Amino acid sequence: MAGIERRLIRLRTLVHVIAPRAGKAVPEGFRRLIAIEDVSKRYADGTVAVDRLSLQIPDRSITVLVGPSGCGKTTTLRMINRMIEPSSGTIRVDGEDVRARPVNTLRRSMGYVIQNAGLFQHRTILDNIATVPRLLGWSRQRARERAAELMERVGLDPAMARRYPYQLSGGQQQRVGVARALAADPPILLMDEPFSAVDPVVRRGLQEELLRIQGELGKAIVFVTHDMDEAITVGDRIAVLRTGGRLAQFAAPDEILSSPADPFVEEFLGSDRGIRGLSFLSTRDLELDRSRVFSVGSDLREISGRAPEGVPVLVTDADGRPLGWADPGSWDGDVEALEPHGPVFEVGRDSLRVALDRAVLSPTGQAVGVDGSGKVLGVAGQETVAAAIRSARRRRAADAPQEAPAVKAGR
Partner 1 sequence: MNGFFDIPSDLQHSYGGLIAVHMQEALFPVLAGLLLALPVGLLCVHYGWLYAPLLWTSTVLYAIPSIAFFVVLIDYTGLTQLTVMIPLCLYSLVVLVPAVVDGIRSVPEETNAAATAMGIGLARRYFQVQLPIAVPAIMAGLRVATASSISLVSVGALIGNQGGLGNLLTTAQLYGRPRLAVTSVVTTAVLAIVIDALLVLLRRVLTPWQPPSGRAAGRSADVAARTPEGVS
Query: Contact positions toward Mg ion, by CB under 5 A?
Result: 74
Asked if 101 interacts with partner 1 (CB under 8 A), we say no
> Nearest approach, Cβ of 24 to Mg ion (angstroms)?
34
Q: Does 108 bind partner 1 (CB under 8 A)?
A: yes
Beta bridge partner(s), residue 188: 110, 220
Long-range CB contacts for residues 375-379, cutoff 8 Å, separation at least 24: 375/316, 375/319, 375/320, 375/321, 376/293, 376/314, 376/316, 376/320, 376/321, 376/322, 376/344, 377/288, 377/290, 377/347, 378/288, 378/289, 378/290, 378/293, 379/288, 379/289, 379/292, 379/293, 379/314
Which x/- pattern over 51-70 shows residues binding ligand ATP (rule: CB under 6 A)? ------------------xx
Angle of helix 200-217 versus helix 170-182 axis, rounded to 10: 20
Q: Is 132 in the site for partner 1 (CB under 8 A)?
A: yes
Among 3, 72, 194, 235, binds ligand ATP (CB under 6 A): 72
Q: Which is closer to ligand ATP, CB of 241 or CB of 338?
A: 241
Contact indicator for 143, 130 with CB cutoff of 8 Å: yes
43 touches ligand ATP by CB under 6 A: yes
Residue 71, interface with ligand ATP (CB under 6 A)? yes
> Does 83 help bind partner 1 (rule: CB under 8 A)?
yes
Site for ligand ATP contains 242 (CB under 6 A): no
Verify binding: residue 224, partner 1, rule CB under 8 A: no
Size of interface with ligand ATP, in residues (CB under 6 A): 12
At residue 73's C-alpha, the angle toward residues 405 and 278, to 5°, is: 30
From the list Mg ion, partner 1, ligand ATP, none, pick the one residue 190 interacts with, judged by a Cβ distance below 5 to 8 Å according to partner type.
partner 1
Q: Is residue 186 involved in binding ligand ATP (CB under 6 A)?
A: no
Residues 6+ positions from 166 with CB-CB distance below 8 Å = 121
Residue 47: which of partner 1, Mg ion, ligand ATP, none does it interact with, CB under 5 to 8 A by kind?
A: ligand ATP
CA distance 272 to 270: 6
Helix or strand or coil: residue 333?
coil
85 binds ligand ATP (CB under 6 A): no
In order of 30, 74, 85, 210, the CA distances from 90 in angstroms are 15, 17, 10, 29
Binding positions for ligand ATP, rule: CB under 6 A = 43, 45, 47, 49, 69-75, 226
Please report, as ranges, the residues that interact with partner 1 according to CB under 8 A.
Answer: 81, 83, 103-108, 110, 112, 114-124, 131-132, 135, 164-167, 180, 190
